[in-house]
Amino acid sequence: MNIKNHEILHEISRGAITTVYKARHLSLNRIVILKVLNPQWLREQDLLKRFKREARISAHLNHPNIVNVYDFAIEPDMVYISLEFVDGVSLEEYIRRHHPLSPEQIVSILTDMARALNYAHGKGVIHRDIKPANILIDDNFTARLTDFGLASFQDAPGVTSQGQSMGTPAYMPPELIRGEPAGPQSDLYSLGLTLYEMLSGHPPFRKENTAATLQAVLTETPPDIATLRPEAPGWLHELTRRLMEREPRNRPERIGQLLDILERETDTSLPAARRKKRTGRLTITALLLLAAGVLYFFPETTPPSPGSPPSITDTTRNRPDTLLARSPEKKTALPATESIPAKRGTETKKSPATRPAPPVARTGALYVSCTPWATVMLDGDSLDVTPMKRPLPLSAGSHILELINPNYKSRRFTLDIQAGRTDTLNVRLEPNFAYLMIKATPWARIYINGKYREDTPLEKSIIIPAGRNILKLVNPTLGSISDTIHARAGEQLEKHFSFKN
């Protein structure tokens, strides 16, 4: 099977939006990763623009710690990106296999990523989805950054609007969850979470569902990394804390400062950073990550006329919400070396075969109306944010849909999409927050779950998550008061406190 100038060797993975192949680029005579947009999305202009932006941004970058883009095409019947094939594993997989990583290995990977981001930021590109799954470790133990599907140029209009979030929830900076624009410090925050995971073996924020994860990023403080890896250098502990500061102003201003810290500290605290010697060639295909979470669009406007109701099961009514993890994708072991047959002078040249048209997918469509707004998760992929501009084209069959808003209870449905039919789903989310009015004498700074909110006297109640909350009131002269508040969703609470002289 051939796709344009590529001979398909085998399929690596198939996601809701793209299918990823290992292929041979015939003109370049080299092995590549070919990421192909699934047929049902070919008429989605917003998605095509994002796909084109990913290719344009990636092709704009040429750095030894960034995966290269060789080719891309956007045509009426075919959309693809051809990327450099990296023989290795993702950092996510490497941590799983080799935890605990040594400080030298961690510093080596962190330095490679700092160099990649320093270069990208210098070109005006913000990655916006730094995480271990998007970092590849090749067989020379060099870290390579990939997946610029969410990246943006700093001087270009933003690709999100108020209330819309993009990225992987467990690694998303707080400012993006709040709907604020991304900047270089957003990448630094996600890199800090990645550093925490390299040290501890697990991400600092990963809860039972997406909404709980986003809430944790905004309000919770993970276990101190010094208690999890006490033998690691103290400066590495402090660097992790600084990169993970919730407020961008408290992080380093630019990636160059991180490089300066790494250079200074490795000269004094660690032995000369040494690359871990290969114990065997890493042979697992490392670009499975490209199939999922790379293309998102967030349109807005009016719904179409409702069709007949879809066959839908609301699974949230019968059991607690669970994180919509992607189904484990099949990993394909590759041989340590791959021989490419040499062309013989005596070979008869075959006339080029006509590429068959892509198969016509049997699709239906779904329009989702949700009050208030929600991120639309389909089969583990974030595809849209309500209000939607147009129905989502979906392959016929069963799908899992989840609607997420960090301040409301998430809803999860099992859909049965029928070919040739547009269905409408109307949903109202239930609040998952409470209102708290605080009166303090004489006055106090209010901290909820370790995060500063505002000073008393309050003009109106502040919103707090439903459940258990830790309240701390601080008066610089009179000391502090702590209290635990248990709040039910939708409840209005009022608390009075008085500082003693």
Q: Give dist(CA 165, CA 405) in Å, integer.
A: 10
Cα 89 to Cα 86: distance, rounded to the nearest angstrom: 8
What secondary structure does DSSP assign to 75-114, as a single string? ETTEEEEEEE--BEEEHHHHHHHHPSPPHHHHHHHHHHHH
Q: Which two tokens stand for residue 139?
A: 């067989």
Active-site residue 129, yes or no?
yes
Separation between Cα atoms, residue 96 and residue 93, nearest integer Å: 5
| Class of residue 334 by CB neighbours under 10 A (exposed 0-12, middle 13-18, buried 19+) | buried
At 402, list the tokens: 């989840």
Three-state SS annotation for 286-341: CCHHHHCCCCCCCCCCCCCCCCCCCEEEEHHHCCCCCCCCCCCCCCCECCCCCCCC
CA distance 396 to 363: 5
Cβ atoms of residues 417 and 397 within 8 Å = yes
CA dihedral (303, 304, 308, 312) in degrees, to 10, reads -40
Catalytic residue among 112, 129, 187, 384: 129
Going by the DSSP 8-state scheme, the letter that residue 71 receives in this structure is E
CA-wise closest residue to 309 among 415, 381, 446: 415
Interhelix angle 184-200/234-243, nearest 10 degrees = 140
DSSP string, 373-404: --EEEETTEEEEESSPSSPEEEESEEEEEEEE
Query: CA 247, CA 310: separation in Å to the nearest integer?
Result: 43
The residues carrying an active-site annotation are: 129
